[in-house]
Structure 1
């Protein structure tokens, strides 16, 4: 039986990806930072008639990451899903805020990928799928640290992809737009009244964001794209999870002078 390691599975895209890969016939190692929050995952797996192996992992813990990969044995698919959000513009960010975003959204992803690569390379097969965001293609107001980390991880994976492909290892990124999940609740943001000179702009941005998430894609639907990227016979590097994500990411990827993106994102602040 093939093995898939999926991070950040206590809710949202990660939960549905773990269950979906189990339904597809994988032995799924589903990592959660806090095992006491795995009830929803286990219930979803039970409802689907499958089992997943729940493993405690804080992806920023290097020693524990190495231990999990070693204990897993041969890993056929790695899904880097665990992530961390942040809402603040640069003047509101501290020197600690920036590496906190990079630790989860870039460094931890690079570490786990590096840990599974030797086995995949030696076996001549493997899939590495990293859930990034349309924020990895389009810089967005008040997402400075988050988008910086997501841009970085996309650059890492796009650089890695052609190097490992000759060894049978396929690398992909999946870019969701707004997804209804606990991710939004966990986003770090300035406390009420602490917007300072950016307060009115932040309020406008948050109002626009609330509207976007009111019509957000379901995490189950977004997970369907992650699963497809993991098991398809026709792998590709970049995937979007919805028509909204296609249109949004495409705006940046086809925007050679940057004006199209700024025209849109400036409108969010008025």
Structure 2
């Protein structure tokens, strides 16, 4: 990056989790941090975290599925700061469920936030990132590499993001912009606390034939997200900061050794049998 003034970064989806921790970490590392979220009514946790860390954040509303909002937000950042040095695409939403029981409106909504929102923010920011020779970091998931049961729509969106960014990477490298994707594995969330609600959502509208596989999947996922197995949002934020500030960042970055081992199964799996053999065990009923 060529700017000698304080670098400016825009982060999407900062009301909770990875986005919240990333915004605070970047501000602590000296970045002017534009922390955005769809609903500013949910900003209290971010404000509290920033106050506890002793950092200042510029918190703004941004709905990544609203094209006009994306344009006006990035235009305002440029008008106020004169440059934009990095974007962290983090905003996203889960879409747990079996496709047979999921309405297409829900499928489209998940694609809007998880894929088209990333595309729109990226497209709008790229002229400014080229001017600053900046960085574009997108939080995907190990689910952007390995398709996972009952996450058909979520994984499809993350696969699309990975393909989009992988295709964009060499073009932007020629133009001075470093493009990376960061792939977390399980991160401590409210999954275990909400597991009953997740089961209810999964079985709603599903044929009874699905129930044994659903319970097998949820049991495996509870274990994966348990303390000691899952990372914290702060762990992931540290990897994002390291990627953002690296002299020569990799395109694909996993956030833990477990995530690296998991994605390696797919990346070395030429015929697909290793991945499908692995995930079949997640829904085994005998």
Give the TM interval when normalised to the shorter protein.
Answer: over 0.9
Q: Who is 1:95 aligned against?
A: 104
State the alpha-carbon separation in 2 of the partners of residues 261 and 192 from structure 1.
23
State the alpha-carbon separation in 2 of the partners of residues 136 and 193 from structure 1.
24
2:262 is matched with which residue: 240, 248, 252? 248
State the alpha-carbon separation in 2 of the partners of residues 189 and 145 from structure 1.
17
Q: Who is 1:7 aligned against?
A: 12
Change in Cα spacing, 1:254 to 1:50, as seen in structure 2 (3 Å) is same
State the alpha-carbon separation in 2 of the partners of residues 5 and 189 from structure 1.
35
Confirm or deny: 8 A CA contact 1:88 1:190 kept in the other structure: no
Structure 1's unaligned 5+ residue stretches are none
TM-score under structure 1 length normalisation: 0.95
Question: Secondary structure at 2:182's aligned position in 1?
Answer: strand
Structure 1 segment 105-254 matched on structure 2, within 5 A? 105-123=114-132, 125-182=133-190, 191=201, 193-194=203-204, 195-196=206-207, 197-214=209-226, 215-254=229-268
State the alpha-carbon separation in 1 of the partners of residues 146 and 202 from structure 2.
26
Change in Cα spacing, 1:126 to 1:156, as seen in structure 2 (3 Å) is same
Q: Who is 1:78 aligned against?
A: 87
State the alpha-carbon separation in 1 of the partners of residues 127 and 219 from structure 2.
46
Q: Give the drift of 1:193.
A: 4.5
2:46 is the counterpart of 1:41: yes
TM-score under structure 2 length normalisation: 0.90
State the alpha-carbon separation in 1 of the partners of residues 8 and 76 from structure 2.
12
State the alpha-carbon separation in 2 of the partners of residues 183 and 200 from structure 1.
19
Q: Which moved more, 1:179-188 or 1:35-44?
A: 179-188
State the alpha-carbon separation in 2 of the partners of residues 167 and 183 from structure 1.
41
CA RMSD of aligned residues (A): 1.8
Once superposed, which parts of structure 1, at least 4 consecutive aligned residues long, lie more than 6 Å away? 186-189
Q: Deviations over 1:135-165 (max 9, x none)?
A: 0000011110000000000000000010111
Confirm or deny: 8 A CA contact 1:3 1:29 kept in the other structure: yes
